[in-house]
Amino acid sequence: MAAPVALEVEVDSARNLIEEGAPVLDVREADERERVRIAGSLWIPIAELKERWRELPREGTLVVQCAAGSRSFRATKFLREKGLVATSMIGGISEWQAHGLPTLAGTISSASGPAPGR
């Protein structure tokens, strides 16, 4: 049986999960996402999560991120209540950048922005 996934993980642990194939869910608003985002991340603004959570992958661990960790923590708790395996990245994209990890910037395209099915 797999070990339980922590409610929150540090950036290094999140990076390891992502490198192992875990999808990233960005719950920030469009203007925040246009400024900076993690390549390949799924996107559902937190205000839309209650209606759109079924679009997310059901297998494996989902790494949830926002700007600094507050919204992703709330989103992670919600997703866990719905039966998904999710963990919040402590410090959000701000901490990701502070670690010098790669990001993208610019206009969001439909191919790389929203979660599948949207």
Q: Which amino acid is at 27?
A: V
Mean pLDDT by 10 residues, the chain (118 residues): 80 96 97 94 97 95 97 98 97 96 76 41
Which residues, 6+ apart, have CB-to-CB distance to 111 below 8 Å? Answer: none
Which residues, 6+ apart, have CB-to-CB distance to 115 below 8 Å? Answer: 25, 42, 43, 44, 52, 55, 56
Predicted TM-score (pTM) of this structure: 0.88
- Domains annotated for the chain, with CATH where assigned, are 8-98 (3.40.250.10)
C-alpha dist (Å) from residue 56 to 14, 44, 73, 100, 114: 18, 9, 17, 27, 10
